[in-house]
Amino acid sequence: MSKVTNYRFSFGPWNISEGSDPFGPEVRSPYSLPQKLDMYQRLGFEGVQLHDDDVVENLDDLQSLQVLKRAQEVGSMLTERSLVAEFVAPRLWIHPQTIDGGFTSNCAADRNHAFDRCSRAIDIAREVGTRNIVLWLAREGTYIRAAKNARAAYDRVLNAINYMLEYDPEIRIWIEPKPNEPMDQAYVPTIGHAIALAYRSSDPARVGGLVESAHAILAGLDPADEMAFALAHGKLCSVHLNDQNGLKYDQDKSFGSVSLRSAYNQVRVLEEAGYGQRGEFIGLDVKVMRTQKQPGSTAHLVNSRATFLHLVEKVRTVDRDLERQLIEARDYEALDAYTLRHLLGVPARGALESPRPVLATSGNQ
Ligand code: XUL
Ligand code: MN
């Protein structure tokens, strides 16, 4: 990596939420979209992630011209605040015709609905000034595998991607994999699946992936390695940094909240690959704790961003010579201890550690 990356950050309006969960209602009064947009710069963010209906509420009930007019208004709100729309994502999981999935529904009318909704999302994206479409394939999966033909489902997802690429020859599609929730099993659970689809699409250069930390953890995978895999293919278009405490519902905890070390590994892989130097955002997808009061309901965003930047400093100040020597000596115990000391801010040659002598005495005893 040659130059120093000046990171830009993004989040979506849904990340400032009212606290409802499957077991209880909202606990905070809502902020309006303009109120949320007013907060972005102050919180240290410039990129706005958007679902199609974050831009145009109730868009299924509106005529095309009404949709475009509202999207233009939101586009102006962004410009007035010097904000950038990072992407628009079609929300394909709420409408009754998405109950059993959109693209992979067994019902042709549902599949057509999903195609129409994607066309509208693309129109909206153009009006708010982005060419990037995020596809989180929420209900493209099953509760029981007997319900759908998986082989046909993969073709249907591919057809949908090709349809969008053809609908607008300038858009780019970023697939956001997730292995489960709301479905039991999703058809596109990992970045490997997403990138395989990208290569099979009608225009692979315009299809890539977005890795969310929590989604990788839910798949039993290492988020940093998932990011590295996409980077190795030149296909890491964005990230959703957050954290996840084991295999349970999708938590979207603040970045680093569960594992600082995993967070460090993610920051390191991004920083070393020069991620962000081609305009990519450090995207967050974090949920505030239900216990927060309304004025404190943006703390998780500020804290996640700060943690990211602290970890960038850790990556930039790591003793690369020492690491190299320990790797050459294959002394991974010392490398492990050094990494932890570095994260803890304890001097490398503190009372508990003396990695260099290990090199002199390494042998097969
Ligand atoms: C769902 C999720 C979504 C996507 C955008 O788990 O992460 O918010 O990021 O549709
Ligand atoms: Mn996400």
Q: Report the separation in Å between the CA atom of 256 and the middle of ligand 1, taken as the mean of its atom positions.
A: 19
**In degrees rounded to 5, what are phi and psi of residue 19?**
95, 10
- What average pLDDT does this structure show over 208-214? 98
Taking the CB of residue 329, how many other CB atoms lie within 10 A of it? 16
pLDDT of residue 349: 65
Quick one: which ligand is closest to 91's CA?
A: 1
pLDDT in tens, 234-291: 999 999 999 999 999 999 999 999 999 999 999 999 999 999 999 999 999 999 999 9
Tokens of residue 310, six digits:
């602290």
pLDDT in tens, 38-66: 999 999 999 999 999 999 999 999 999 99
Q: Which of 124, 215, 218, 285 to mutate to test the pocket of ligand 1 (most atoms within 8 A of CB)?
A: 285
Nearest to 281 by CA among 100, 87, 113, 41: 87
CB-ligand 1 contact for 176 (6 Å cutoff): yes
Tell the residue nearest (CA) to atom 1 of ligand 1.
Answer: 136
C-beta separation of 269 from 228 below 8 A: yes
Measured between alpha carbons, how far is 189 from 55 in angstroms, rounded to an integer?
27
pLDDT in tens, 151-185: 999 999 999 999 999 999 999 999 999 999 999 99
pLDDT of residue 347: 86
Q: Report the separation in Å between the CA atom of 252 and the middle of ligand 1, taken as the mean of its atom positions.
A: 10
Beta strand residue intervals within the chain, DSSP E: 9-11, 47-51, 84-89, 132-136, 141-142, 172-176, 185-186, 207-212, 236-240, 282-283
Band (pLDDT 50/70/90 cuts) for residue 365 is very low
pLDDT of residue 354: 52
Give per-residue burial for 86-99: e unless 16+ CB within 10 Å, then b.
Answer: bbbbbbbbebebbe
Catalytic one among 52, 53, 54, 123? 54
CB-ligand 1 contact for 212 (6 Å cutoff): yes
- What average pLDDT does this structure show over 339-351? 84
Q: Determine what percent of the chain is predicted with pLDDT higher than 70.
A: 95
C-beta separation of 127 from 68 below 8 A: yes
Tell the residue nearest (CA) to atom 5 of ligand 1.
Answer: 136
Is pTM beyond 0.85? Reply is: yes
C-beta separation of 318 from 45 below 8 A: no
Residue 215 is a catalytic residue: no
pLDDT at 322 over 50: yes
Measured between alpha carbons, how far is 157 from 114 in angstroms, rounded to an integer?
11
